[in-house]
């Protein structure tokens, strides 16, 4: 029996995460999608090749261009995002590189909101510049500055929402409208929000990028990336991916699909625990400031309320009257969160941005990027909220 197509317009997000993109009946009558360990796919005869090419028959040809498991993951991710199409990559950065390389030519310009994953900025500013692409950075959430930075060479506007590590929230209607007004495409890296909490496509944004390494896969056990958007706009991006070769192994895809089954349940816990831990930190006397979009004290609380259905597990906070070493001592004193970069997995992670990602950065650049010595970034996992709060309390009071 054929199943009714499962989309985010007709079904809830848990149903989409578990069921969308999959065939109702699968090879071998297996409930799970098989792992297709194949670098290449065979044709029965010469006519089959011609049918595939001339009639654009839906099937695989060679592993770099696609794999049946990858197609399932892409359909599921598109259904979660509410987009027409999605392209899977071997990492979030591969997705960013794939899109930027497809869309920008020598002489073109890209405008960034400046609070962002440092490697995205580095790729454009340091590497695309070698190919004649100009990167302009403007202050996050300064829409007038973004508009002023646009000229007739501008081809792409890029932002994260929430931004990393300050958790600023973009007014997506405004951001998309600036792009539309000037005929410039827009990209939101919504890794920190996930499609559970934010749907940039509904606001008119052209492309949504995720490091699927984080919440989508959710288990700190793989790297993957995805770009969602319209089939037409993504067509050249998909073609370049087939040439770049930044694709996932069949086993990696299986792990991603398995992780996605519990996506909605995990997000419920990240959202609930993230808010409770942020509220606890905000009331603790050793904490100077907490950045979390679900707190009323957050600079963009109103925009967050308007655009997001939850605020995730990432919390950034400043320790009161602490130098970098006193701050490091708190990181070292927690017992449940592990010290590591990344976020979005079932295990909580903690880091001091100064040491983890910005150690080799000059003090001037750190000031420019708003990275303070007393800053801690906590990625709340799905452990019991009370245990995490108790652990943070003892670390702050040690």
* Footprint on this chain of ligand PLP (rule: CB under 6 A): 91-93, 117, 120, 160, 164, 189, 191-192, 211, 213-214, 223, 225
- Min. distance of Cβ 251 from ligand PLP in angstroms? 17
SS3 content of the chain, % helix, strand, coil (to 5): 45, 15, 40
What is the torsion angle, in degrees rounded to the nearest 10, for the CA atoms of residue 139, residue 275, residue 377 and residue 91? -80
Q: Which is nearer to ligand PLP, 22 or 189 (CB)?
A: 189
In the block, which residue shows the tokens 């650049």? 365
Q: Which is nearer to ligand PLP, 120 or 374 (CB)?
A: 120
- Min. distance of Cβ 38 from ligand PLP in angstroms? 25
Q: Give the residue closest to ligand PLP by C-beta.
A: 92
Q: Which is nearer to ligand PLP, 104 or 349 (CB)?
A: 349
What is the torsion angle, in degrees rounded to the nearest 10, for the CA atoms of residue 98, residue 102, residue 107 and residue 109? -60
The total of other beta-carbon atoms located within 10 Å of residue 192's CB is 28
Q: Which is nearer to ligand PLP, 6 or 120 (CB)?
A: 120
- Min. distance of Cβ 103 from ligand PLP in angstroms? 17
- Min. distance of Cβ 310 from ligand PLP in angstroms? 17
- Min. distance of Cβ 42 from ligand PLP in angstroms? 32
Q: Which is nearer to ligand PLP, 16 or 217 (CB)?
A: 217
In the block, which residue shows the tokens 């598109």? 78
- Min. distance of Cβ 213 from ligand PLP in angstroms? 4
In sequence order, what are the residues at sequence separation of 6 or more whose Cβ sits closer than 8 angstroms to the Cβ of residue 330? 319, 322, 376, 395, 396, 398
Q: Dihedral sign for Cα 83, 87, 92, 94, please.
A: negative
Q: Dihedral sign for Cα 265, 270, 271, 277, please.
A: positive
Q: Which is nearer to ligand PLP, 161 or 273 (CB)?
A: 161
């Amino acid at each position: 029996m054929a199943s009714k197509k499962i989309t985010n317009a007709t079904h809830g997000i848990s149903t989409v995460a578990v069921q969308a993109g999959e065939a109702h009946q699968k090879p071998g009558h297996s409930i799970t999608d098989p792992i297709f360990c194949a670098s290449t796919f065979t044709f029965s005869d010469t006519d089959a090749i011609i049918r595939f090419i001339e009639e654009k028959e839906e099937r695989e040809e060679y592993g770099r261009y696609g794999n049946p498991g990858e197609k399932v993951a892409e359909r599921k991710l598109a259904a979660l995002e509410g987009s027409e199409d999605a392209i899977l990559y071997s990492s979030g950065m591969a997705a960013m590189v794939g899109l930027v390389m497809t869309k920008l030519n020598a002489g073109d310009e890209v405008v960034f909101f400046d609070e962002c994953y440092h490697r995205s900025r580095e790729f454009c500013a340091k590497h695309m510049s070698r190919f004649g692409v100009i990167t302009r950075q403007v202050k996050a959430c300064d829409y007038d500055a973004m508009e002023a930075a646009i000229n007739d060479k501008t081809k792409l506007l890029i932002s994260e929402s929430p931004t990393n590590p300050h958790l600023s929230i973009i007014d997506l209607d405004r951001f998309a409208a600036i792009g539309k007004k000037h005929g410039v495409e827009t990209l939101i890296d919504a890794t920190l929000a996930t499609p559970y909490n934010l749907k940039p496509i509904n606001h008119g944004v052209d492309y949504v990028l995720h490091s699927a390494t984080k919440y989508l896969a959710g288990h700190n056990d793989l790297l993957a990336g995805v770009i969602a958007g319209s089939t037409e706009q993504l067509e050249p991006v998909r073609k370049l991916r087939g040439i770049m070769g930044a694709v996932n192994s069949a086993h990696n895809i299986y792990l991603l699909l398995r992780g996605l089954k519990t996506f909605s349940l995990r997000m419920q816990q990240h959202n609930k625990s993230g808010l409770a831990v942020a509220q606890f930190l905000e009331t603790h006397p050793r904490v100077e400031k907490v950045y979390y979009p679900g707190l009323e004290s957050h600079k963009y609380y109103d925009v967050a309320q308007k655009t997001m259905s939850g605020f995730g597990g990432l919390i950034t906070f400043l320790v009161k009257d602490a130098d970098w070493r006193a701050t490091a001592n708190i990181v070292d004193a927690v017992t449940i969160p592990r010290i590591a970069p990344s976020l979005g997995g079932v295990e909580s992670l903690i880091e001091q941005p100064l040491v983890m990602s910005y150690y080799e950065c000059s003090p001037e650049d750190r000031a420019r990027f708003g990275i303070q010595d007393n800053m801690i970034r906590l990625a709340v996992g799905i452990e019991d909220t009370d245990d995490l709060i108790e652990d943070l309390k003892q670390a702050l009071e040690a």
